[in-house]
Structure 1
Amino acid sequence: MAARLSSLARSSAVMTAGTLTSRLLGFAKAILLATAIGVTVGGTADAFDVANKVPNNLYMLLAGGILNAVLVPQIIRAAKRPDGGQDFVNRLLTLAIMVLAGVSVLATLAAPLLVRLYSSTEWSDDKQALAIAFAYWCLPQVFFYGLYTMLGQVLNAHSNFGPYMWAPVLNNVIAIAGLGVFIFLFGTGRAGEHAVGTWDATKITVLAGSATLGVVCQAFILLWPLKRIGFSFRPTFGFRGVGLGTAGNIATWTFGAVLVGQLGFIVTSRVAASASSSSGEVSASLAAYTLSYLVFMLPHSLVAVSLATALFTSLSTYAAEKDTASVRAALGLGLRLVGLVNVFATATLITLSTPAAMVISGGSVAEGSGIGALDQARAIGPVIATMVAGLIPFSANYLLQRVYYAYEDAKTPFWVQVPQIVLTAIGVVASGLLLPGQWILAGIGVSMSIGYVFAALVSATLLRRKLKRLGAKDLIVSHLKFGIAALIASAVGAAGMRYLDEDLYSSWTGSFLVCAVGASVMLAVYLGVCYLLRVRELHQTIQTVRTKLAT
């Protein structure tokens, strides 16, 4: 157990460092974007958000779906062939690239339709036209996101995890540089300079073109580490009779899940786009929803994705060898480690949701709008809180899905996702119809969280049949300990927030200090209580660190 934890920790540490750097730069990019074009006022932010969200959403689905489900298990199994699987992998990648190219071309040509699907019918013609213009620049990202994922999964299958997690750093650096150029050339959006009717081809190209250039570089930078491990891709055609049938079956079921997920996201996007101020009250916008989702994804990306990536290669190997006991042990370790971090992250983000909203929005609002930065943060805060409430089951289900994919089973995750999406969509539509404008996005966050809980429970129940048992008692006891520690840490954080003067976090700098100090204090309390409760993973991590320092 200790040796497995040490190996997992080494692999995860490299990926977490890359992900953390990328996410921090991502927050800087989000803040700079909010400064450039605003968050809640003017309409431009929502137009760009929709245009840039479609390829991003497709990427998340592809990375967590078709490509992840197919590539690593297939490459590991193909490695047992006489040629080490080189011919098989070449054919698999050739087919995947062809499909990606076709999807990307069709998506770009369908830009007007996609924008209308993801936006609101209440948008003006000018706002729709601006979003479509952005989309023509952004939609080719689908191909390069897919290429990045394919090349990264080849590296992961060879246990070379670092480059895949560090490549997005380059993407964010280029995007930040592009936003800097935009602000230098055209100024910020604080006084309404970038309202919907003010955009020309040059402004659109600088903003959306730099975003796409970052994704292109993110993909091509992986060619260098692939060359270093000796991998040489040669396009190879002829896809019948070479063993691609299993891969095709998995891809078909996963593509079905992608379509279902897209339908659900279209519902969410349209309802979120319809959220607006009512009776003079401030409501969170579609762009604010995206910022909140960015906060939600931060702990998931740092821990769950890094651990799942490191574990997936091992899980696929164990599954191919029919070593069920090792699959169970690896999954249990992953769920407990992810839970240790995510329970704390959930408690902290809920407790500090308002100052966190101030930080991610950059304290930026349009001048003359009548909206204060703190009012805007209060509108976004509940969205963050309701979204992160589903963080623990979301990450748990992500790990559970990796086990299904390791066994080359994409059918079960599909049938889990269908009722989840239906359940979430019902909640989202009800939120749009029944809640006041300023609470619609919070209602969407609650609906998403309920869907995540449902999916995690069903996935675990079905997986228990496959693995005979999951070690549920151990998982429940561990999470109860995490929960007790988080409640105590939250009480300390909430007490501190109660006695703070609101003026302290009515600015970006003050909010950043509140988040930094508050999170640090809560972390110290959380780890201290976990240590006293003898949380096994924490004690083993401490022992591993002590051993490394001693040597």
Structure 2
Amino acid sequence: MARAFMTVGAWTLLSRVLGFGRDILIALFLGAGPAADAFLVAFALPNMFRRFFAEGAFNVAFVPMFSKRIERRDDAEAFARDALTGLGAAVLALVLLAQLFMPAFVLAMASGFAADERLDLAVGMGRIVFPYILFISLAALASGVLNAMGRFWAAAAAPVLLNIVLIAAMGGAALLGGDVLQALVWGVPLAGVAQLALVWQAARRAGITLLPRRPRMTPELRRLALIAAPAALAGGVVQVNLLVGRQVASYTEGAVAWLSYADRLYQLPLGVVGIAIGVVLLPDLSRRLAADDRAGSIATINRATEFTLALTLPAAAALVVIPGPLVSVLFERGAFGPQDSAATAAALAIYGLGLPAFVLQKVVQPVYFAREDTRTPFRFALVAMAVNAALAVGLAPVIGYLAAPVATTTAGWVMFALLLRGARRIDGGIEPDARLRRSALGMLAASGAMALAVGAMAWALAPALDAGGLRYLALAGMVLAGAVVYAGVVHGTGAFTARDMRDMMRRG
């Protein structure tokens, strides 16, 4: 498990770093004005529906069922082809519907666009980028096949292609004197084709050729649909939360971009740690359940939680303590000014408070999904949605666009608390052992020490952080010093040692 996590995490880290490069270029060329707001909303449309038809809903149903067929040496390839046909037909219908009703789709995302030029911009771009959902959904199914077979690198590497294509499109257009915005927009569907080609070929090399079949409703597909439906509804609840946040932000010009850039920063540790753990944990737990390995399931969850906390707690502390330097050094240039940095940093600090909850959800959810239970997380998601909507709408008149991150963070902790309480009642679910309790306390202490250290350095290095090229060295020094302090305290308290890492790698 540890080796698989490292594989997924490394590729995800590369994707997120390139994502920073992509967003830095977007901030450079588009800033936080109408064009940036319109593109970010248009690009959010296929990514929102991806949670329904790809990673969010479909794969949490598909991966356990496919994993168990592999464990039982059943006809897994036929099941995958049937699933591909059903998924492709559903998503293609959605793409055609979106082309007809794109203005309504955009206004559902950002009703504040109705009164200005951003609506027409977002509608035009939305029609171009929306077919990305077809390619990425089919790529997600192929990725699920690979993950269930213990082959993680291609699925983890696919998102890297998106950022490479978009960076190349913007850079090439700028060098050739072309329209950077149009190059960015057309790069999105092109990147989807590249991602699908990569994982389809990897699945074929693994022995599974994913070709569509004549559509038919088999008993297996009916069960897949019944399991996926609550997960899709839960994904819909999550998207409602995001929609509420964008609606709040859309009434302040630039706020959609501020929240998007803040989201990019906190999504780095969430993606590298949380998504990687979730991707690896789900097929692993599914196979252990099929083999009736209760003890192995519990041990796997404990070690996954331990590894997650080791990386998430210091990241959350940094986002809360030094959001200003992080945002200004990474994004403040060109059309993105000091006011934009300050607004983005305020949102980032609030998201940082919720980061541990967002990541730990990825550890707990597979406990349910591996048992093909998607209804319980859906019920919990409804509660979290109510909390999010009440806070976002209720606080918007008081704190403006910051109501969105406050609501998201609070709802994240509510969702995690409900998932954890339910999982502790499941046989073979969550049972923290003595090692996990000991290490968690040590990691909390180490994160506190690191926060004090980087906070003091930010105060001392304030002039350097505002000084051109020197600011990059100043931020790098703060990051390095924080890592040294955290590692020293963690090792000194015995919370997470090099021996623990070696043990996890051997067990993986």
TM-score (norm 2): 0.93
Say whether residues 1:445 and 2:436 are aligned partners.
no
Indicate how the Cα distance of structure 1 residues 268 and 47 shifts in structure 2: closer, same or farther if over 3 A, else same. same
SS at match of 1:244: helix
Which deviations, in whole Å up to 9, do the C-alpha atoms of 1:104-132 show, x marking residues without a partner?
22233321111111113365342211111
Aligned pair partner of 2:430 in 470, 479, 500: 470
Q: In structure 1, what is the equivalent of residue 484 of structure 2?
A: 524
Which deviations, in whole Å up to 9, do the C-alpha atoms of 1:445-501 show, x marking residues without a partner?
222111111111100111111126623464444322211101111111111111223
Say whether residues 1:495 and 2:456 are aligned partners.
yes
Deviation of the 1:544 alpha carbon: 6.9
Say whether residues 1:15 and 2:8 are aligned partners.
yes
In structure 1, distance between residues paired with 2:465 and 2:185: 32
Contact 1:355 1:512 in 2 (8 A): no
Deviation of the 1:543 alpha carbon: 6.5
Deviation of the 1:365 alpha carbon: 2.5
Q: How does 1:263-342 map to 2 (within 5 A)?
A: 263-276=240-253, 285-342=255-312
Higher mean alpha-carbon deviation, 216-225 vs 134-143, is at: 216-225
Deviation of the 1:205 alpha carbon: 3.6
Amino acid at match of 1:484: A
Amino acid at match of 1:136: R
Deviation of the 1:508 alpha carbon: 6.1
Contact 1:351 1:490 in 2 (8 A): yes
In structure 1, distance between residues paired with 2:234 and 2:85: 23
Aligned pair partner of 2:44 in 44, 53, 70: 53
SS at match of 1:322: coil
Indicate how the Cα distance of structure 1 residues 382 and 61 shifts in structure 2: closer, same or farther if over 3 A, else same. farther
Say whether residues 1:479 and 2:456 are aligned partners.
no
Deviation of the 1:56 alpha carbon: 1.8
Contact 2:43 2:126 in 1 (8 A): yes
Q: How does 1:42-441 map to 2 (within 5 A)?
A: 42-79=33-70, 84-121=75-112, 123-186=114-177, 205-237=182-214, 239-276=216-253, 285-365=255-335, 373-435=337-399, 437=400, 440-441=401-402
Indicate how the Cα distance of structure 1 residues 13 and 67 shifts in structure 2: closer, same or farther if over 3 A, else same. same
Indicate how the Cα distance of structure 1 residues 82 and 154 shifts in structure 2: closer, same or farther if over 3 A, else same. closer
Deviation of the 1:275 alpha carbon: 2.5
Higher mean alpha-carbon deviation, 241-250 vs 80-89, is at: 80-89
In structure 2, distance between residues paired with 1:413 and 1:131: 33
Q: In structure 2, what is the equivalent of residue 196 of structure 1?
A: none
The percent of aligned pairs where both chains have the same amino acid is 25
Higher mean alpha-carbon deviation, 304-313 vs 234-243, is at: 234-243
Amino acid at match of 2:394: A
Amino acid at match of 2:492: L
In structure 2, distance between residues paired with 1:82 and 1:329: 26
Indicate how the Cα distance of structure 1 residues 185 and 270 shifts in structure 2: closer, same or farther if over 3 A, else same. farther
Deviation of the 1:43 alpha carbon: 1.3
Deviation of the 1:81 alpha carbon: 5.8
Higher mean alpha-carbon deviation, 387-396 vs 532-541, is at: 532-541
Amino acid at match of 2:361: N
Deviation of the 1:209 alpha carbon: 0.5
Indicate how the Cα distance of structure 1 residues 205 and 461 shifts in structure 2: closer, same or farther if over 3 A, else same. same
Contact 1:88 1:242 in 2 (8 A): no
Indicate how the Cα distance of structure 1 residues 62 and 293 shifts in structure 2: closer, same or farther if over 3 A, else same. farther
Indicate how the Cα distance of structure 1 residues 385 and 61 shifts in structure 2: closer, same or farther if over 3 A, else same. farther
Contact 1:337 1:537 in 2 (8 A): no
Aligned pair partner of 1:30 in 4, 11, 23: 23
Deviation of the 1:238 alpha carbon: 5.1
Indicate how the Cα distance of structure 1 residues 9 and 308 shifts in structure 2: closer, same or farther if over 3 A, else same. same
Amino acid at match of 1:492: A
Contact 1:359 1:508 in 2 (8 A): no
Indicate how the Cα distance of structure 1 residues 116 and 312 shifts in structure 2: closer, same or farther if over 3 A, else same. same
Amino acid at match of 2:321: T
Deviation of the 1:406 alpha carbon: 0.6
Contact 2:230 2:378 in 1 (8 A): yes
In structure 2, distance between residues paired with 1:259 and 1:10: 33
Which deviations, in whole Å up to 9, do the C-alpha atoms of 1:227-263 show, x marking residues without a partner?
2112122323354444233211111111212322232
Higher mean alpha-carbon deviation, 474-483 vs 158-167, is at: 474-483
Contact 1:358 1:508 in 2 (8 A): no
Amino acid at match of 2:396: G
User: How many aligned positions are there?
Assistant: 506
Contact 1:25 1:169 in 2 (8 A): yes
Q: What are the ranges of 5 or more consecutive residues in structure 1 without an aligned counterpart?
A: 1-7, 188-201, 277-283, 367-372
Which deviations, in whole Å up to 9, do the C-alpha atoms of 1:495-550 show, x marking residues without a partner?
11112234x222563443232211111111111101011114654115678x99xx
Indicate how the Cα distance of structure 1 residues 232 and 378 shifts in structure 2: closer, same or farther if over 3 A, else same. same
Indicate how the Cα distance of structure 1 residues 82 and 482 shifts in structure 2: closer, same or farther if over 3 A, else same. closer
Contact 1:73 1:405 in 2 (8 A): yes
Say whether residues 1:461 and 2:421 are aligned partners.
yes
In structure 1, distance between residues paired with 2:40 and 2:197: 25
Contact 2:269 2:312 in 1 (8 A): yes
SS at match of 2:474: helix
Higher mean alpha-carbon deviation, 145-154 vs 463-472, is at: 463-472
Indicate how the Cα distance of structure 1 residues 473 and 232 shifts in structure 2: closer, same or farther if over 3 A, else same. closer
In structure 1, distance between residues paired with 2:252 and 2:26: 21
